[in-house]
Structure 1
Amino acid sequence: MSKLSSRLRAIVRGNPPGSSPDAELTFEPDVPEKRGELPPPPDISRAAEALGGRPVENQYGRVLAVDRRYEADRWHGETQIGGCELDDFEPLRALDARFRSSWSPEPGARSLTASPMFFDLETTGLNGGAGTVAFLVGCAWFDCGALQVRQFVLTSMAAERALLEALREQIDAAPFVASYNGRTFDAPLMDVRWAFHRLPSPFETKPHFDMLPPARRLWKHRGEQSAGALARFSERTGCSLMAFERQLLKFRRVDDVPGFEIPSRYFHFLRTGDAAGLESVLEHNRLDLVSLAVLTARAARIVVGGYAACADARESLALGRIYEGNGRVADARACFEHAAEAGDRPTRADALSRLAISLRKERRYEAAAAVWRRLVDARPPRTKTLLPLERLAMEALAVHHEHREKDLELAKKFAEALNDENGDEAIRRRLSRLERKMSERQSPLLN
C-alpha cells in the first residue's frame, strides 16, 4: 500500500516514478484561517414579536404560531369570504374520485359539516426527499363564516418535531384536509419528515381533497377561447393556483414575493435572526390559503347548481363529464345539451358526441343517431374541413344506417363524405361493401 501511495503522490506532483516526492501531500480545506462559530439559532420571542405571532409549546419543544383572521365581510377579488364556508362536502366527493374513495358516509348518515383544514407549505426546496424541509406550514379553516389562518414557522431545525406535533393536532381536529397539489407534493413531503423523526403521519388516515385535478377538469380549456386575456391564460400560466386566482377570482396580488426567493429569505433569517424578510413570505402563504378556500367553494357551488351555475359552455361541458363520472347520467346530459346550445363549434361537437355516446350505451340507437345528425348538421355552411368529432359522427351514422336502418343509400352518402384525401382503408372497404350490397339488392329486381 505504501508503494502505491508513493507512486500516486509522484504522479500528482509530476515527479518521475521511483523518485522521492518533494513533499507529502496533505489535505488543506479551502476555508478561512479564522472562522467564527456558527450563529446561534434565531430567538423565537424576537421572531414572534417581528411577525406578530406567539410561541406555542408542546411535548417536543416550542414553535412559532402566527394567527390571522379574514372576517366574513371581507372580499377576495369578486368573492366575499363569508359565502365560501362549506356546509356539506358531498360536492367535493363528486369533484375528486380519490377523495370520494377515501371517505364514504354510512347509509342514512348526514355529511360532516365541520370545516376542512386547508393547508399549504413553504419549503427549503422543490425537489422533495429527506433534505427538503417545510419551514412554514399554513393551515386555514372556517369559523362562524370567517376564515381563520394559523401558520407554524420553523425558527430552528431543532424545533421541527414541535412543528410536526402542532400540525398533527390541527389535522386531527379536522374532518378532512384540503390542498392544491398537496396529494402529490405537500403530503408526501410531510410524510418523509414524520418518518425521519420516527413519528406516524396523520395524512395516512385522514381523507384528503386535492383541488388541482378538479380545477384542471373544470377550467383548463378556458384558455383555448379566443377572448383576449383568457386566450393567453393557459399558454402563459397553466393551471397554477395564482393563474386561477387572477382569471377566475379576479384577485391580483401586490408586491408578492417570487417563489424562487422564498428559500433564500428563510436561510437569511436562520443566519441573521432578522425576520423582516419573512413577513412577505407569510403573506404569500396566507393568500394561497385564502385563494384555495375560495376556489374550492366556487367548484362546490358549480356541482350543486348544475349548468345554470356555470360561467360558460366549456364549464358546463366539464361539469357534465364530472357528473358522468359520478353516475349522474341525467345531470350530465343536461350539461351536454346546454354546452351544445351555447358553445362554439369545437365545444358543441364535444358536447353532442358525449351525449350521443351516452345514449348509445343505453342502446337508444335512434336517439343517439338523432344527436349524431345534429352534430353533422351544425357545421357552418360551405365548410369542407371536418373536425375529428364530426368525422366520428358521420362514421357512426354510416354504421347506423347500414346495419340498423338498412338504408344503404344514406349510409353510402355519409361514407362518401369521409372518403377524402384523409380517408382511411376502413372507409374504402365500407364503400365497397355498400356498393356490393346495393348491387345484390338490385339483382333480384332486374331478374
Structure 2
Amino acid sequence: MAKDAFKSKLARLRRDGAVEAQGKAVAQELPQVEAAPAATERAKSLPAWVGARLSRRKELQGIPHTGGGVPMTSELQRIADSWDTTVGDPAELRVIQRAEGEFAVRETRIEPGYRHGEWDLDEIDAADPAAIARLARDEALGEIDLRRAVFLDTETSGLSGGAGVYVYMVGLGWFEGDTYVSWQSFLRHPGEERAMLAEVADRIRMGDSVVSFFGKSFDRHRLEDKMKIAGVEPPFEGRPHLDLYHPFRRLTHGAYPNAKLQTMERELLGFRRAKDLPGSLAPAAWFDYLAERPHRLEGVFLHNHEDVLSLVTLSAFLGRAVAEERRCGSALAGPTCRRAAALAETATTPEERLRWAQEALVREATGMDRRRMQLLRAELLRRAARRDEARAAYREALEECSDDRIAVDLFAGASMLLEHALGDLTNALAMAERAQRLGVRKGLAKGQLGALEKRVERLARRVP
C-alpha cells in the first residue's frame, strides 16, 4: 500500500512538473506580445495546452463540470443557469498600454456615502490600528492607514497552484481622497499576462499596505509565482499585509458554519448579495470566453467587485472590535462571547487578559471557549498572587468538569498554587498525581507527561 501511495505521489509530481514546464514556455513568449489577438482569432492563437483544454471542454458539453477542478453539483448548476450569458468582450473595458504589452481593465469610481450592507465605506476612518494589529497578531499593522491601503482579490483559472494556472482577473481597491476606486484588470488572452502583472505590481506598490481575505495563503502566492515566472518583481516583500480571514475566524469561531468571506459579510455587515456567481464557476466563465462561446464573465466581475468592497467594510469592523461599537455608537454584530474570548487571547497585558476572560464568562461562554477562559482566569489569578480568588477559580472549573483535556492543566495549576502560595504539599502532590493520570488517559505528548512526572517525583520527596 505504501508503495502504491508513493507511485501515486510521484505521478502527481510529474504532472505538476509538466504543467510548470508549459507555463514557463508560455512566459518565454510574453515579452514579444504587443497586443491581444482579435476576438475571432483568439482561440486559434492560444498556447497549445490551453487550446487542448478548451477542446476538451467542448467535448464535455452537457457533462457537469466547472472548469476549475470543482465538481458541478446540482446547486452550482442551478446558480449557473440563473445567469444570462454574453458573447465577446465584457462591457466597459478600456485598454492599458505598457512597454510589456496591453491588457484590459474595468474601473468603477464610488463617491462618498456609499453603503455596503449596513456599513459606509468611510467608516474605515474610525478603525483603530492597534485593534487591527492585536486581533491579526501582527505588530507590523500597528500603524496601518486603511485609506492608504490596497485591497486585493483575485480570480484564477483553477484552485491549484503552479505555472499552468492563470490569474486572469485581479481586483484592486483604493481611496483617492474621498472617492473609492474599484479597479479590475482582465486577461483577454494569456499573452497579456506579463503586462497585467507588471501593472498590478506597480499599483500595489502605490499603497502602504495590502488587505485581503485568505490572501496570504492564496492570492499573494498565486501572484508571486506568476510574477516571478513572467520576470516581474513581486511587490509584497516588506509590505504590511492584513489577511482578514485569521482575525475574523478568531472573532467568530464556532458561531457560524464556516469563516468564509460571504458568511462574514452577511452576519457582521448585513450585506446580502442579490445575485452571486460563486468563485468555483469563475474558471469555466473565462475558458468559455477564450473559446468564443457564450460566457458568464459579468457574474465574475460582479463577484470580484463585491468581494473587494467587503474587504473595506470588514477592515472597518475589525478596527472597532476592541471598542465593540461602531462610529455611530451602535453595538457591533456578531457573537459577543466569542469576541470577548478572542480579546482575552490576544490581549498584551495580564490585566487586560484577565478582564476579557472574566467578561467572556459573564457573557456565558459555552463549550471549549468557556473551559479555556476558566483555565486562563485561574492561571492569571494565581500568577497575580491573588490566592483566594485563584483557589476558588480552580475549584469552580474542576467541579464543572474534571475529565477533559483542560482539566489536566487545571489540576497542574492547582498543584502549583497549593505548593507555592499555600504551602500545602500533601494536596499539591495529590493534584499533580491526578494531572499525571489524566494526562496519560488523554494522550498528552511525551514532553508534557515528562514534566508532570518530574513534578510528582519532586513533591513526593518533599512530602513528610
What TM-score do the two structures reach when normalised by structure 1?
0.70
**Residue of 258, 266, 285 corresponding to 2:286:** 266
Residues of 2 paired with 1:417 and 1:165: CA distance?
62
Name the structure 2 match of 1:336.
357
Distance 1:164 1:333, change over 3 A: same
Report the equivalent of 2:307.
Answer: 288
Residue 233 of structure 2 corresponds to which residue in structure 1?
A: 200
- Say yes or no: does 1:255 pair with 2:294: no
Give the direction of change, closer, same or farther, for the CA distance of 1:71–1:322 in structure 2 (3 Å limit).
farther
Letter in 2 for 1:142: F
Matched to 1:263, the amino acid is: P
**Cα deviation, residue 301, structure 1:** 1.0
1:164 touches 1:194 (CA, 8 Å); kept in 2? yes
> Is 1:318 aligned to 2:338, yes or no?
no
Q: Is the contact between residue 72 and residue 83 of structure 1 (CA under 8 Å) also seen in structure 2?
A: no
The change in CA–CA distance for 1:47 and 1:178 in structure 2 (over 3 A counts) is: farther
Q: Secondary structure at the match of 2:269?
A: coil
Give the unaligned 5+ runs of structure 1: 1-37, 106-110, 223-229, 441-447
Q: Is structure 2 residue 99 aligned with structure 1 residue 59?
A: yes
Moved more, 404-413 or 292-301: 404-413
Corresponding residue of 2:410? 393
Cα displacement (A) at 1:376:
2.6
- Superposition pairs of residues 41-56 of structure 1, within 5 angstroms: 41=42, 50-56=90-96
Assess, with a 3 A threshold, how the Cα gap between structure 1 residues 344 and 386 changes in structure 2: closer, same or farther. farther
- Contact map agreement 2:96 2:102 (CA 8 A) in 1: yes
2:158 touches 2:165 (CA, 8 Å); kept in 1?
yes
Q: Which residue of 1 aligns with 2:74?
A: none
The letter of the residue matching 2:159 is L
Q: How does 1:19-168 map to 2 (within 5 A)?
A: 39-41=40-42, 50-85=90-125, 89-98=129-138, 100-101=139-140, 112=145, 114-168=147-201
Pairwise CA distance, 1:247: 2.9
Counterparts in 2 of 1:201 and 1:84: CA distance versus 1, 3 Å: same
Name which one, 1 or 2, has greater alpha-carbon Rg. 1
Deviations 1:141-172 (A, max 9, x none): 23455532110111112211221222123112
Asked if the contact 1:349–1:375 (Cα under 8 Å) also holds between the matched residues in 2, the reply is no
Counterparts of 2:434 and 2:202, CA distance in 1: 66
Q: After TM superposition, give the deviation of residue 267 of structure 1 in Å.
A: 1.2
Deviates more, 1:370-379 or 1:257-266: 370-379
1:138 is paired with a residue of what secondary structure?
strand
Q: Specify the code of the residue in structure 2 equivalent to 1:53.
A: L
Query: How many angstroms does 1:409 deviate by?
Result: 6.8
Structure 2's unaligned 5+ residue stretches are 1-38, 44-85, 326-330, 442-448
- Secondary structure (helix, strand or coil) at the match of 1:291 reads helix
Q: Which moved more, 1:383-392 or 1:328-337?
A: 383-392
Instruction: Determine if contact 2:432/2:456 at 8 Å carries over to the other structure.
Output: yes
1:139 is displaced (CA, Å) by: 0.5
Secondary structure at 1:272's aligned position in 2?
Answer: coil
The alpha carbon displacement at 1:263 in A equals 0.8
Distance apart, 1:175 and its partner CA: 0.8
Contact 2:173 2:308 in 1 (8 A): yes
Matched residue, 2:319: 300
The answer to which structure, 1 or 2, has the higher relative contact order (CA under 8 A, 6+ apart) is 2
For these two proteins, the number of residue pairs brought into alignment is: 369
Q: How many angstroms apart in 2 are the aligned matches of 1:88 and 1:345?
A: 29
Does residue 1:220 correspond to 2:242, yes or no?
Answer: no
Native 8 Å contact 2:341 2:360 kept in 1: yes
Report the CA distance shift for 1:168/1:82 in structure 2 as closer, same or farther (over 3 A): same
Deviations 1:254-288 (A, max 9, x none): 331132221111111112176x6211100011111
- Which residue of structure 1 lines up, in the alignment, with residue 60 of structure 2? none
What's the CA shift string for 1:166-214, capped at 9, x where partnerless? 2123112111111112122211211122222212111234322211222
Report the identity percentage: 25
Report the RMSD for the aligned CA atoms in angstroms.
Answer: 3.8
Deviations 1:349-384 (A, max 9, x none): 322322333455xx43344x623522432677xx67
User: Is 1:87–1:114's contact at 8 Å kept on the other side of the alignment?
Assistant: no
- Separation in structure 2 between the aligned mates of residue 423 and residue 410 of structure 1, nearest angstrom: 20
Normalised TM-score (structure 2): 0.68
SS of equivalent to 2:185 = strand
CA shift for structure 1 position 432: 13
